A and B are shown apart, each in its own frame.
Chain A
Amino acid sequence: MNIQRHMVLMAFIASLFSVQHTAMAEESDWTLKTDIQAIYGSYSGSLSRKSLTGGGLILNADYLDLGGFSLGANYAQLAFRNVTNDIKQQSYYGSLHYNAYLDAIPGPLTLRLDGHGINNNDASGNTDNVRVIAPQISFLNYDKSFYADLGYAYSTYQNNLKVHQFTPTLGFGFNALADWIRIRGYFIDPSNALRAQNKNSTTAVEAKWTHWFDPGSWHKLDNMQIAGLVGERIYAVDNDAAAVYNLTDIQRGSVSVALQWKLTEQLSLMLVGGNERYLNNTVSDAYSNRYGYLNLSTQW
């Protein structure tokens, strides 16, 4: 009986090795990447908001060059100046994408579908139980000198609010692809102006310039990004950052600088510093959020 159990155990262990071996054989077919991120923001000039602290993890898995998925979770805490309790928020993110290679066009078309879920303890319920679904179609040419996408996001909020967002984007590379400029429009239509600072729609344009440095530079930087946003946007969904701005205030511009170091072939570090301006029409509260963001990305 003992021998039989031993043999079963051995067979089980052997099967584990077999599974592991198979997984190793297919290892190169999947590329995995994890992003660990942390953010701290300090509100300046705000009547009520004090600071924002958060952290999260995103796992990306790509099967060869065909497509993949991402899963993410984030925790954030919004502190107030007055006696209002902190808002503690958990957000979840899932994304699927598929790359279609058509000989008729000189680059892949990527079809992507994102989903977000946000829960928090906001007593008003206005920023709690948020659900977002965001499809996107994008094109990047083989030379990586031209990019275009069209994104859409449909967000549902409690207390009678739905938000439609369209984000057409253009990008192009120049200077032997050492530089890249991307311009994205945000056209956002909240269904209920009373829940959107009396706005029926908002429009904003975001521009981002990325410069890749020559290897061997003294600062060891891989690239630097400078980004700015003009116009107004509310309840925006940022597909690149996998973030939903479920703040009830209007964002009226932002600037940021990002520095990225490639520490090894698999490991990179990004530091971002930025300033966002907001307005709460209801109580005439204009304020800004100065933030720092850290992202540690590992690929294997």
Chain B
Amino acid sequence: MLKFILLPITSIIVVLISFTTTVYSAEIKSPWSTSYTLEANGEYEKAASVIYQFIDRGAENEFALIRYGWLNYLQGNFNDSIQAYQRALDRNNRSVDARLGIALPLMAQRRWSSAVRYLKQVIGHSPLNYTAHIRLMICEEGLRKWETLEKHAKEVSIHYPTDTLALVYLARAHAWQGDKQKAYAAYKRVLVRYPEHLEAIRYLNP
């Protein structure tokens, strides 16, 4: 008898617990969380639309703008991305994040000079900012400024001696200037840090 009474009660409790958990989950599933999940699934447009409501209001509107810029960059909407990052910069002109961010769509549009402008501003604020230096080297390569790239890559390599990328750019700068010996030396240093580096292997074993 007791068994017959306990079973429905237990079932009701389980259903109640389950319902409460679902409601609780729904309450804590913020638009931000949804946006991150959608981004992780590659649904960038939906991820951007979820947070679009925050770009003009709320305490996190600057963050929303930067995220909106990033998600539009991922979609290839480079002009919308630039506009969002620019609006973020208008709200906080000291933002390093927005400057690093705006450089990405500009670089995607091969607007190297415009990207250089923002990256140099970051380096002006934060002289050893690694991301800014790497992106700046990419721009210098795009502009085919091999002497500038050589000096820059050497400098970055001194500050980040374990870094492979700076050495790759140093090697490319030497190679494009026709200095094969220095390019060989730089690519050899690349292989010490990254033994499977295809570009270095191909250059050293033509």
Report A's interface with B, CB cutoff 8 A: 28-29, 31, 62, 64-66, 101-103, 108, 142, 214-217, 264-265
Q: Considering the complex, give the chain B residue whose CB is closest to the CB of A101.
A: B109
Name 12 A/B residue pairs within 8 A (Cβ), A-sorted. A28-B116, A28-B117, A29-B117, A31-B113, A64-B114, A103-B76, A108-B109, A142-B109, A142-B110, A215-B175, A216-B177, A265-B148
A-B contact count (CB 8 A): 48
Contact A216 B178 (CB under 8 A): yes
Contact B113 A103 (CB under 8 A): no
Q: Which 10 A-B pairs have the closest CB atoms?
A: A216-B178, A215-B178, A65-B111, A64-B114, A265-B147, A64-B113, A101-B109, A65-B113, A142-B110, A215-B176
Within 8 A of A (CB), among B18-39: none
Contact B120 A65 (CB under 8 A): no
Within 8 A of A (CB), among B46-100: 76-80
Cα distance A229–B182 in the bound complex, in angstroms: 43
Contact B78 A64 (CB under 8 A): no
Cα distance A277–B177 in the bound complex, in angstroms: 39
Q: Considering the complex, give the chain A residue whose CB is closest to the CB of B150.
A: A265
Question: Smallest Cβ distance from B189 to chain A, in angstroms?
Answer: 20
Report B's interface with A, CB cutoff 8 A: 76-80, 106, 109-114, 116-117, 120, 145-148, 175-180
Cα distance A101–B81 in the bound complex, in angstroms: 13
Contact B120 A28 (CB under 8 A): yes
Cα distance A217–B175 in the bound complex, in angstroms: 12
Q: A101-B78, A103-B79 are in contact. Are A264 and B114 (CB under 8 A)?
A: no
Q: A101-B109, A217-B178, A265-B147 are in contact. Are A64 and B79 (CB under 8 A)?
A: no
Cα distance A142–B175 in the bound complex, in angstroms: 23
Cα distance A101–B82 in the bound complex, in angstroms: 11
A264 CB contacts on chain B under 8 angstroms: 147
Q: Considering the complex, give the chain A residue whose CB is closest to the CB of B80.
A: A103
Question: Smallest Cβ distance from B103 to chain A, in angstroms?
Answer: 13
Contact B117 A216 (CB under 8 A): no
B112 CB contacts on chain A under 8 angstroms: 65
Contact B120 A216 (CB under 8 A): no
Contact A65 B79 (CB under 8 A): no
Q: Considering the complex, give the chain A residue whose CB is closest to the CB of B146.
A: A265
B109 CB contacts on chain A under 8 angstroms: 65, 101, 108, 142
For the A-B complex with A31-B113, A265-B148 known, give 16 more contacts whose Cβ atoms are closer than 8 Å: A28-B113, A28-B117, A28-B120, A62-B113, A64-B113, A64-B117, A65-B106, A65-B113, A101-B78, A101-B109, A101-B111, A142-B110, A215-B177, A216-B178, A265-B145, A265-B146
Among A28, A31, A217, the one with the most B-chain Cβ atoms within 10 Å of its Cβ is: A28
B148 CB contacts on chain A under 8 angstroms: 265
Q: Considering the complex, give the chain B residue whose CB is closest to the CB of A30.
A: B113
